[in-house]
Amino acid sequence: MSVNLEKIREIFADYSPEKGNFMPLMHEVQKACGNWLPEEALKEVSKLAKMPLNKVYGFVSFYTMFSTEPRGKHIIRFCKDGPCAVKGSLVVAELLMKELDVEIGDTTEDGKFTLEETACIGTCTAAPAIMIDDEVYGNVTPESLNSILKKYR
């Protein structure tokens, strides 16, 4: 999929350092590129933001929500930290791996889902929790998992 440079220019037209909006705009650029940031996109951002490319790459490689490798249409994140771990988040992860036939950190063959670990997502009283794209699902059970996935399949 080729990078839509016009869309990136549109997004970054709103950029200014004083607005402190580099990060939000990068999230938008990533979304526009299909959940990842190709080199071409980073080069365009470097030009538009007048930020040297090494700094753009350094920025992107620091934050876990960004990826410079292609990812799927939907990002599934499962929390592996304390409160979720004791409530069976690893069981949920294993179920997801089996159901989608994918390893943690990888994308399904059909390019639909990428499965990632995430740090605590603030749903600890409704553990275990997962995120799919922008949606948070709490109290996930093997039973509820199927109906959740159905919405995206």
Partner 1 sequence: MKYNTKILSTENVLLKNIGIIDPLKIEEYVAKGGYKSLAKALKMDRKEIIDTVSDSGLRGRGGANFPTGRKWLFTYNAKADQKYLICNADEGEPGTIKDRILMEGDPQQLIEGMIIAAYAIGASKGFIYVRGEYRESIKTLRTAIAQAVEKGYLGNKILGSDFSFDLSVAEGGGAYVCGEETALIDSIEGKRGEPRLKPPYPPVEGLFQKPTIVNNVETLVNIPHILEKGAEWFRNIGASCSPGTKLFMLSGDINEPGIVETPLNISFTEVIEKFGKGVKDGEIKFAQIGGSSGNIFTPDMLGKVWTYERCCEFKVSYGTGSIFVCNDSRNVVDHILTVAEFFEHESCGKCTPCREGTHRVREILEKFAYGEGTVSDLELLKDLCLVMKKSPICGLGQACINPVLDAIEHYKSEILAN
Partner 2 sequence: MSDKVKVTIDGILVNVPADFTVLQAAQLAGVDIPTLCYHPDLRNSGNCRVCIVEIEGMPTFQPSCAFKVWDGIKVKTNTAELRKARKMIVELIASRHNTDCLRCDSNMNCELQKLTDKMNLKEIRFEIQPDFEHPMDHSNIVQRDPSKCVNCGRCIRMCNEIQTVNALEWAGRGYEKMAMTTMEKPLAETACISCGQCINVCPVGALTERDDTEKAWAFIDDPEVHTVVQTAPAIRAGIGEACGLEKGYLSAPKMFAAIKKLGFDKAMDTNFTADLTILEEGTEFLGRVTRAIKDGATDVAFPMFTSCSPGWINFIETYYPEFLPNLSTCKSPQQMFGPLAKTYYAEKAGIDPSKIRVVSIMPCTAKKFECDRPEMNASGHKDVDIVLTTREFAKMIKTANIDFATLPEIKPDDPMGISTGAADIFANTGGVMEAALRTVYEIITGDALPALLNFTPVRGLVGIKEADITIEKTAPGFEWLKGVTVKVAVVNSTGNARKLLDAIKAGEKSYHFVEVMCCPGGCIGGGGQAKPTSWAIKAKRAASIYREDESRELRKSHESPAVAQIYKDFLEKPNSHKAHHLLHTHYFSKAHLIK
* 39 binding partner (options partner 1, partner 2, none; Cβ < 5 to 8 Å by kind): partner 2
For residues 11 to 40, the per-residue mask of contacts with partner 2, x marking binding by CB under 8 A and - elsewhere, is: ----------------------------x-
| Interacting partner of 120 out of partner 1, partner 2, none (Cβ under 5 to 8 A depending on kind) | partner 1
Among the listed residues 63, 70, 40, 43, the one whose alpha carbon sits nearest the alpha carbon of residue 54: 43
Question: Which residues within the stretch 77-96 sit at the binding site for partner 1 (CB under 8 A)?
Answer: 77, 80-83, 85-87
CB–CB of 23/64 below 8 Å? no
Cβ atoms of 115 and 78 within 8 Å: the answer is yes
Of 18 and 103, the one with the shorter C-beta distance to partner 1 is: 18
The residues, ordered by sequence, that sit 6+ positions from 132 with a Cβ below 8 Å of its Cβ are 74, 75, 76, 77, 148, 152
Using CA of residue 147, residue 151, residue 152, residue 153, what is the dihedral sign?
positive
61, 139, 141, 146: which one binds partner 2 (CB under 8 A): 61
Shortest approach of partner 2 to residue 61 CB, angstroms? 4
Q: Cβ of 29: how many Cβ atoms within 10 Å?
A: 23
Which residues sit at the interface with partner 1, rule CB under 8 A? Answer: 17-24, 26-27, 49, 51, 55, 58-59, 62-66, 77, 80-83, 85-87, 118-127, 129, 131, 134-139
